[in-house]
Amino acid sequence: MKHLSLILALLLWLVACTPVQTADAKGTCGDNLKWSFNESTGVLTITGSGKMADFYGQAYYIPWYSYHENITAITLPQGLTSISHNAFRGCSELTGITIPDSVVQLEGNPFAFCTSLTDITVSLDHPALAVIDDVLFEKATKKLICYPAGKSQSSYAIPQGIQQIEDLAFSGCKTLTDITIPDSVTTIGGGAFSGCDSLTVIVIPNSVTTIGDWAFDYCKNLTSITLPDSLTTIGEYAFSGCDSLTSTNIPDGVIELGNNPFSYCSALTAISVSLDHPVLVVIDGVLFDKAAKKLICYPAGKSQSSYTIPQSVEEIGAFAFSICNSLTAVTIPDSVVSICKYAFYECESLTDIDIPDSVTTIGDWAFSECKSLTEIVIPDGVTSIGDHAFYKCTGLTSVTIPDSVTAIGDTYVFAECPNLTVTVGRDSYAEQYCKNNGIPYTYPDSNDWLNH
């Protein structure tokens, strides 16, 4: 009965919180703006004036399936002044949009991943925006805002004079194989070419200084990329999921490098930097940050089965070993203090890892989906274990957690570890965590009576 009552309460809550599905749904979407959506025609109409909110981040205003799948046309009013980043992200049936002259500010690409979008229209007298060959630009900043993802051509040359490529500007452009970037461009924004999975050779000119986070995320056919000497910053996960990338050289000018720019690059076997690089060093093909004493990237395509992290390394960076499926054993030295988020994520062959007493934190998802791990002993120095840290470690049978641990993340830290028993101290934080989450546990001294 108790479970039935909980289920009924949940159903009532869901009914109360779910928008009514009508043929003409209505609501508010920003400063003095209202929207109405006619499901039978697929037309979303915005009325009023002011700044439009981020529909993508406020999906409860418009039923998810409605705006993500069913919107085919959008009517924007004169009086609209600003459109937020991601406002119409993922409207996969949207084919065209007209932006009124009153819009003087676009925050990022409002039409990211609109995979049917082919036509963007603005007036010839628009004070802030311009369209050249259906591509949207901002005049004052000389910024390319949106290349419509539904365009069918295989190549595109960005006009000379453009200085910035906006975040997500080419996102989801699956037909593009070749893009020419002029030497006027200095910045490639975050996610700029995300999901351009047909892109095979792109030359970054010797004018670009910044490549943003996730800039070339999942450009699966990108086989090589030459980074220019002008480059100073590479954002986190900039080339994540570039499955065909086998090698790369990082020039000496790069002094700022985000979390592993080459995570999920399953074919990557070699990273090179000069011996005189001021910030980075490569040892046995593995990339490190000198000052931070951080292991940034162990290339996922390396074939050896075991690896010893050099003594003096203090941090194993985010995604540093992600999907390194050849590794069965990693030796961590007693200089390491922190194992960051996703550090060993999906290392499916990893069977042997000893965490030294020097480690104090284990980050979110750090060993998630390491399906061959069978036993983990958390050392006495560890005080916190992050969310999902051992999620889906399906082979895990034994984890020992010391009394020093006073913080364990969400309820999924050991989720989908069906054969796991956790060894905990009596009256410890870990014991209470196991009780709260229904995890089998035992005490280290539970069988002492056999010997006394």
Contact of 204 with 229, CB cutoff 8 Å: no
Sorted by sequence, the CB contacts under 8 Å of residue 167 that are 6+ apart come out as 85, 108, 109, 189, 190, 191, 192, 212
What confidence score (pLDDT) does residue 204 get? 94
CATH class of 303-446: alpha beta
Query: Measured between alpha carbons, how far is 310 from 289 in angstroms, rounded to an integer?
Result: 13
Which residues of the chain have a pLDDT value below 50? 1-23, 56-67
pLDDT digits (tens, 9 = 90+) for 83-99: 888 788 888 888 999 99
* SS3 label, residue 179: strand
CA-to-CA distance for 331 and 322, rounded, in angstroms? 16
So what's the pLDDT on residue 13?
Answer: 34
The DSSP code sequence of 225-257 is EEPPTT--EE-TTTTTT-TT--EEE--TT--EE
**Ranges of each domain in the chain:** 303-446
Residues 167, 169, 174, 179, CA torsion sign: negative
φ/ψ region of 431 (left if φ > 0, alpha if ψ in -120 to 50, else beta) reads: alpha
pLDDT value of residue 85: 80
Q: Exposed (0-12), middle (13-18) or buried (19+): which is 442, by Cβ within 10 Å?
A: middle
Tell me the whole-structure pTM to 2 decimals: 0.86
Return the pLDDT at 21.
Answer: 38
| C-alpha distances in Å from residue 79, one per residue of 28, 99, 253, 426 | 15, 11, 45, 66
Residue 437: closest CA among 418, 412, 420: 412
Q: What is the per-residue pLDDT for 69?
A: 62
